[in-house]
Chain A
Amino acid sequence: MSNLNKIKRRVVTNAENKSFWKAAGQGQLMVGFCNACGQNHYYPRSMCPICYSTDTGLKETSGLGQIYSFAVTRQADPPYIIAYVTLDEGVTMLTNIVDCDAGALCIGQRVRVHFVEAEDGCAIPMFTPL
């Protein structure tokens, strides 16, 4: 319903998150993964927020999940949909839902990642209903 390319969206990259955004540019949605405890985390960090090991890296996801919650931001022009999506890999991430009928969206709906190019060329992981 909304043309997100018109909205200013920039990504602040840094030493800790650049590999996440590089993978996004190649069409891969990653989560943080800890080699010590074997658990996923989001957003990705150099130190595992569950067991505090620094033996961490990224793990590619299926790009599939379901909507945990969402809100149509109507005061924006054009309106856009912010959402939390729970990935099949078990972690929940903040995102947008795009290319959809806002009136038909519901919590629990299955969605797939859809990368949208930001102003600065970064690929931003958004989702669209299956």
Chain B
Amino acid sequence: MSIRGKAFIAGIYEHPCRGAADKTLAQLHAEIAKAALADAGLSMGDVDAYFCAGDAPGLGPLNMIEYLGLQNVRHMDSTETGGSSYLVHVNHAAQAIAAGHCNIALITLAGRPLADAKEGKSGRFHNTEAPDFPFEAPFGANVANMYAMCAKRHMHEFGTTSEQLAWIKVAASHHAQYNENARLRNIVTVDEVLASPMIADPLHRLDCCVITDGGGGLVVVSEAVARGLRRPLVKVLGAGEAPKHLSAGRVDLTFSGARWSGLKAFEEAGVTAKDIKYASIYDSFTITVLETIEDLGFCEKGAGGRFVSDGNLISGVGRLPFNTDGGGLCNNHPGNRGGMTKVIEAVRQVRGEAHPRVQVPDCDIALAHGTGGLLGSRMGSATLVLGHQDA
């Protein structure tokens, strides 16, 4: 069953905080839930489906539905694919709505890695029972060096350069200057990216996303509910999700699961990369963006370096305006999970509610993409194609 046109994103909320030392994790979820519903013109009592991922405390939906006081939930989903979870949730919510299981789905994300670190809580979750753990942990595998190896291999095979990767950060910074909540608002240059300290060769500090506390929420509703709300409606046109892993040792780090999730989402939406006016691309690191842009078909595999250069991702300047909120690279990467904010900014663009300096004119079709887990080993890729209500 296709979900095309079966569900609408009626409510969005991005928590303005970037540090949450004074709030609990559950409290952040609650503030987000209430505000996302208010944005849709709905309230807690209307919710009949609740979605959360591994960032939620306890057993996820069970603890959160109780804490939030939700009384009418008849559908729950705690799908966990890391930072892409929330795009998968939109897909699953649309499927559940299409199947008649629910009408008003609430999705929340919250995290407080900065506050946790200050409180001495272990921010990183290591599951020593994971079968791969004994074969990776002894070598000092971490987030940065696992992405760095993808960049290194991409450079080797396709001649991609650090300057080209830096352009991705430069474009994000041009957008972040207009976002008063952005963690980093200063415009940076290619030279400044290259001069920032090397974290894991060839990735510099400014090739990495920010670390922030906060979160965000979405409300996905059926067409019947959507038509009764006095809000701009954003239609879910298509969705795709795909795992990618190390394939028993047949390793290829030059592409991501976006190759498959994107194909599925485009097919369902009945559009191609050429139809996309705006793209939210998961940007844990600059290399994440570069590989994803290729895998989604915005350019040929290997041509990503040339594609992202010279401001081609800057709204009003280039061919593919991306992450106009400043993205994870400059604005917000709450709880080390960037998928939620990717959907939120794509919705703002389709609504015409992005900052006027970065709003894409006539943005009738937009894309959001998430990459959970690690580009350098196993990942959950998820793609959404969103459109204006008449798309």
User: Which A7-51 residues sit within 8 Å CB-CB of chain B?
Assistant: 7, 9-14, 16-17, 21, 31-32, 39-43, 45, 49-50
Contact partner, B156, options A69, A74, A95, Cβ 8 Å? A69
B152 and A70 contacting across the interface, CB-CB below 8 Å = yes
A42 and B139 contacting across the interface, CB-CB below 8 Å = no
**Which one of B194-202, B260-268, B299-307, B331-339 is at the A interface?**
B194-202
Point out the residues of chain B lying under 8 angstroms from A122, CB to CB. 138
Contact partner, A92, options B142, B144, B249, Cβ 8 Å? B249
User: Which B241-266 residues sit within 8 Å CB-CB of chain A?
Assistant: 246, 248-251, 253
What is the CA–CA distance of A98 and B359 in the complex, to the nearest angstrom? 50
User: Which A51-80 residues sit within 8 Å CB-CB of chain B?
Assistant: 68-76, 80
What is the CA–CA distance of A126 and B200 in the complex, to the nearest angstrom? 19
Q: With A41-B248, A84-B253, A92-B251 given, is the CB distance from A69 to B150 under 8 Å? A: yes
Point out the residues of chain A lying under 8 angstroms from B148, CB to CB. 71, 73
Q: With A43-B135, A45-B131, A73-B145 given, is the CB distance from A7 to B140 under 8 Å? A: yes
A71 and B138 contacting across the interface, CB-CB below 8 Å = no
B153 and A107 contacting across the interface, CB-CB below 8 Å = yes
Q: With A50-B248, A71-B148 given, is the CB distance from A12 to B201 under 8 Å? A: no
B138 and A118 contacting across the interface, CB-CB below 8 Å = yes
User: Is A121's beta carbon under 8 Å from chain B?
Assistant: no
What is the CA–CA distance of A130 and B215 in the complex, to the nearest angstrom? 49
Number of interface residues of A (CB under 8 A): 46
B138 and A9 contacting across the interface, CB-CB below 8 Å = yes
Residue of A nearest to B157 (CB): A107
What is the CA–CA distance of A78 and B148 in the complex, to the nearest angstrom? 18
What is the CA–CA distance of A107 and B153 in the complex, to the nearest angstrom? 8
A40 and B140 contacting across the interface, CB-CB below 8 Å = no
A73 and B138 contacting across the interface, CB-CB below 8 Å = no
User: Is A124's beta carbon under 8 Å from chain B?
Assistant: yes
Point out the residues of chain B lying under 8 angstroms from A74, CB to CB. 197-201
B134 and A40 contacting across the interface, CB-CB below 8 Å = no
What is the CA–CA distance of A126 and B136 in the complex, to the nearest angstrom? 12
Point out the residues of chain B lying under 8 angstroms from A107, CB to CB. 152-153, 156
Point out the residues of chain A lying under 8 angstroms from B146, CB to CB. 82
Point out the residues of chain A lying under 8 angstroms from B203, CB to CB. 71
Where the two chains meet, the residues of B that have a C-beta atom closer than 8 Å to any C-beta of A are 128, 131-142, 144-146, 148-150, 152-153, 156, 197-203, 246, 248-251, 253, 377
In the A-B complex, the 6 residue pairs with the closest CB atoms: A91-B249, A71-B148, A42-B249, A41-B248, A92-B251, A69-B153
* 26 A-B interface contacts by CB (under 8 A): A12-B134, A14-B134, A16-B131, A21-B134, A31-B249, A49-B248, A68-B251, A69-B156, A70-B152, A71-B152, A71-B201, A72-B200, A72-B201, A73-B144, A73-B199, A73-B200, A74-B198, A74-B199, A82-B141, A82-B145, A83-B149, A84-B251, A84-B253, A92-B246, A92-B250, A94-B141
Where the two chains meet, the residues of A that have a C-beta atom closer than 8 Å to any C-beta of B are 7, 9-14, 16-17, 21, 31-32, 39-43, 45, 49-50, 68-76, 80, 82-84, 86, 90-96, 107, 118, 122, 124, 126
